[in-house]
Amino acid sequence: MRAATTHALLALLTSLVALSPPAQAEGDASSSQEASSGGVLADEVNLDDLDDLVPLSEATGLTVQDIRILGLGRTSPGVVERELYIARGQLLREEDLTESIQRLWNTALFRDVRYQLTRAPEGGVVVWLAVGERWTTIPIVKFGGGGGSTYFIVGVYDPNAFGEYIELGGQYQNTNLNTHSGVVWFREPRFLGLRLRWSAELWYTNIVRPLYRDGTNVLEGGYNQERLQVFNAFDYEVVRYVQVGVGFEFDNDRFNTRNLTEDQQAANDAFGLDLPSGGRTSFAEARLILGRLDRDEFLFQGVQMTNRFKRASKLIGSELNLNFIHSETLAFLRLPWRSNLATRVTVGHNNTDADQHLFFIGGLDYMRGYFDGQLRGHNFWQANVEYRIPSVDTSWVVLQHVGFADVGDVSDSFADLATFERAPRTSLGLGVRLMSPRIYRLTVRFDYAVTLENDTPQAISFSAAQFF
């Protein structure tokens, strides 16, 4: 429902966008500020030139006497230290060092993470870490489209505000050149110094929602939806691959027919469409996140399932009572030639008759080749598969080529979906991605999709981010 939506080839202009899930350490990685050598660029450091190097096989089981961090300019040493599973005075274990390096990669703040070990004069080992910082103060100039909807966004954000791995941001969004939306947000991945992620967002969205008859591309009307939304959530990492979370969301919706096209207004009149009822919806949310995605530059590896249960109740100030269940599984496999096999499987259910809270599935976010929101209902499933392989792979620019398949369906009957009462909607296509490893999450995406039905309502899909 936060889908935004402007013109096809504009996506190839430079754009910048972000998301930032984190990681954290166990124990007290207490290397001091004096032990960190900020101001030395990682590119200028050859860790192999250090004296008295010790192979990891020999260093395992020795005491960590010191931790030296090289390459920090803007980022506080404490940001790195919080991610470490190693600490001064503890015995070095290979799995702890490996996990520490991976967690630094997973912050996405660094374009390079390396380590080396040397003998300490007093016995034990010194752990040397060299990191290369990414540029993270990002002006947002984002264009995207798919499924007949287009958008542009301008704003600014920084996932490393004040050098403390805190994300602050704000943006303005224009959809289809006639509606205006905006959001400000705050994310603290290490709230209170714990493995606790705090997210807070304030949205005003104003979008036109076209409606299509029974999942076809036959327009039956539309409406303009204005929403004020407040969202607040906490996610805690219980153990390495398990997170639990709680959240609260407040929506206040209003509906009108402003900004509709002539075709949408004519369809409203022809089909006698009634506007949805506006009002307040308050959700309490519980989340369970299993698994983890590990990153290495632009490549990912691992499996992560995010399960969400939301309940709207009059007991917490909602004018509606409804249940919402949503589960998304992401799986990535690194393959030869710096390629990635990427998959996403999503299922959802809700029990409301309020149109604004149904699932809207289409080309902007789930099913390329279809109109945005072309499929809607109480239940849905969908899957995406992409094979991503680069033809250009440098420290400044990566050009990635993608082949993909999207499949899924929506129905008011869960039984119809579970028994495949009808053939699922399917599209196939090719795409390209332009990325820069030196700039935080810079990706420009352009996809062309063809559906396996009689026609393809909207073949072009593009944005300043991977599709998933």
pLDDT higher than 80, residue 87: yes
- How confident is the model over 184-240, as pLDDT tens digits? 999 999 999 999 999 999 999 998 888 888 777 888 889 999 999 999 999 999 999
φ and ψ at residue 44, rounded to 5 degrees:
-90, 0
Q: What is the pLDDT of residue 5?
A: 34
Distance CA 355, CA 320 (A): 12
Considering only 167-171, 219-223, 370-374, 392-396, which range has the smallest mean pLDDT? 370-374
**Range with the poorest average pLDDT among 87-96, 167-176, 342-351:** 167-176
Pairing mode, strands 279-296 and 242-256: antiparallel
> How far apart, in whole angstroms, are the C-alpha atoms of residue 39 and residue 51?
21
**Domains of the chain, CATH where assigned:** 33-133 (3.10.20.310), 143-463 (2.40.160.50)
Give 429-468 as a DSSP string.
EEEEEEEETTBTTEEEEEEEEEESSS--SB-EEEESS---
Contact between 60 and 93 (Cβ < 8 Å)? yes
> Average per-residue pLDDT in the chain?
87
- Positive or negative CA dihedral for 101, 340, 343, 6? positive
Token reading at 242: 């398990």
Neighbours of 182 (CB within 10 A): 16
**What pLDDT was estimated at residue 47?**
86
Q: How far apart are CA 368 and CA 450, in angstroms?
A: 8
418: left (phi over 0), alpha (psi -120 to 50) or beta: alpha
pTM: 0.80
Q: Shortest CA distance to 131 belongs to which of 36, 28, 63?
A: 36
Region of 293 on the Ramachandran plot (φ > 0 left; ψ -120 to 50 alpha; else beta)? beta
Q: Which residues of 100-132 are buried (b: 16+ CB within 10 A; e: fewer)?
A: bbbbbbbbbbbbbbbbbbbbbeeebbbbbbbbb
**Quick one: 45 exposed, middle or buried, by C-beta within 10 A (0-12, 13-18, 19+)?**
buried
Interior/surface letters 426-449, b for 16+ CB within 10 angstroms, e for the rest:
bbbbebbbbbbbbbbbbbbbbbbb
User: 31 by DSSP, 3-state: which?
Assistant: coil
142-156, 235-249, 292-306, 308-322 — which is least confidently predicted? 142-156
- How far apart (Å, rounded) are the C-alpha atoms in residues 400 and 412? 38
Residue 362: pLDDT over 80: yes
User: Tens of pLDDT along 457-467?
Assistant: 778 888 878 99
**H/E element, 104:** helix 94-106
| Per-residue pLDDT at 259 | 85
